[in-house]
Amino acid sequence: MNRKRLLEAGRFRSVFLTEWGTGGVVASVIGLLEVFLPEEGVGREEMLVRMVELYPGALVENDLTRRGALLLERYFAGQPVIFDLPLDLCGTTPFQQQVYAAVVKIPPAVVKSYTEIAREIGRPLTARGVGQAMAANPLPIVIPCHRVLGRTGAMTGYSGTGGVVTKRRLLVMEGVPVSERENGLRRRKEKEK
């Protein structure tokens, strides 16, 4: 589906407020389309304007966007959350959908590498493609791309607001000992040489 059609699919929206800032969710009649990560200093009205600029048809809430917003509020408050919500991945490629199906299964406080995900989907030589799919993820947190690291455990990038700093903060909030994980993976790799 082309980007224009994706934008037309957005019919519903909700805003959520957290200590991290204000975020939002947009849905179609099928499922969630996009998560806007919370941004500090952005108010409710500004977030609504941003969502409507991108999704002009998303003028009202529905049960799905309200539930998604509530779950995201709980997540950012550090509460355990299961995102058992229907997703609309209409703007993504079949490869991206394979990647997202694998990544959505990564539980909180667990991280995997781009290479591990590539192997899990049966395409072991596509680690870079996995990284590109993570960068294009329209549903961060719901599809937990922050739980995917470089093969050495390095924070190789994060396209969400705040970049790698946010990725690290999310992992620490989930209980991942990030520096230990990074160091442990580096030590393991050095021993394999």
C-alpha 43, offset from chain centre: 21
Per DSSP, the chain holds a count of helices (H) and strands (E) of: 8, 5
One domain for residues 39 and 122: no
152-189 pLDDT, tens per residue?
888 888 887 788 889 999 999 999 987 644 444 433 33
* Cα atoms in the 13 Å half-sphere on the side-chain side of 34: 25
* Interatomic CA distance for residues 130 and 3, integer angstroms: 20
One domain for residues 52 and 121: no
* Interatomic CA distance for residues 8 and 27, integer angstroms: 11
Q: What is the pLDDT of residue 191?
A: 37
Length of the chain counted residue by residue? 193
Q: Is 90 a catalytic residue?
A: no
**100 domain-assigned:** yes
The encoded tokens of residue 13 equal: 């929206």
**28 domain-assigned:** yes
Consecutive H or E run containing 136: none
16-38 pLDDT, tens per residue?
999 999 999 999 999 999 999 99
One domain for residues 98 and 187: yes
**82 domain-assigned:** no
Structure letter (DSSP) for residue 60: B
For residues 67-81, average pLDDT: 97
Consecutive H or E run containing 1: none
**86 domain-assigned:** no
Residue 68's domain is classified under what CATH number? 3.30.160
Q: What is the pLDDT of residue 190?
A: 37
Residue 165's domain is classified under what CATH number? 1.10.10.10
* Total-model pTM: 0.88
**89 domain-assigned:** no
Looking at the structure of the chain, the number of domains it has is 2
Least confident of 99-113, 122-136, 178-192: 178-192
pLDDT category at 113 given cuts 50, 70, 90 is very high
Residue-averaged pLDDT of the chain:
88
Q: What type of residue sits at position 187?
A: R
One domain for residues 98 and 175: yes
Query: Which residues form the domain of 46?
Result: 3-76
Higher pLDDT: 3 or 94? It is 94
Catalytic-role residue among 27, 72, 89, 145: 145
The encoded tokens of residue 84 equal: 């058992």
One domain for residues 69 and 118: no
